[in-house]
Amino acid sequence: MSWAALLLLATGAFAFKAAGNFGVGSVAANPIVVGLGRLLPPASWRRSSSTAH
């Protein structure tokens, strides 16, 4: 395995670790995500809408 491939593996492995530590876990608490979530119709509306189709 070349040094370039080895460094690529190290980068990829760290990316997964960091994604969990910094990214995915905090996405739900991010103010932008929370704001976008508020733009979605309420769950009750979605339920009644889905049963109409």
Which residues here bind other proteins, judged by CB under 8 A? 1-3, 5-10, 12-14, 16-22, 24-26
Question: What is the nearest approach in angstroms of other proteins to the Cβ of residue 51?
Answer: 23
Q: Which C-beta is closer to other proteins: that of 9 or that of 33?
A: 9
Q: Which C-beta is closer to other proteins: that of 25 or that of 41?
A: 25
Question: What is the nearest approach in angstroms of other proteins to the Cβ of residue 39?
Answer: 25
What are the Cα distances from residue 48, in Å, to 7, 24, 38, 53? 52, 30, 18, 9
d(CA 43, CA 50): 10
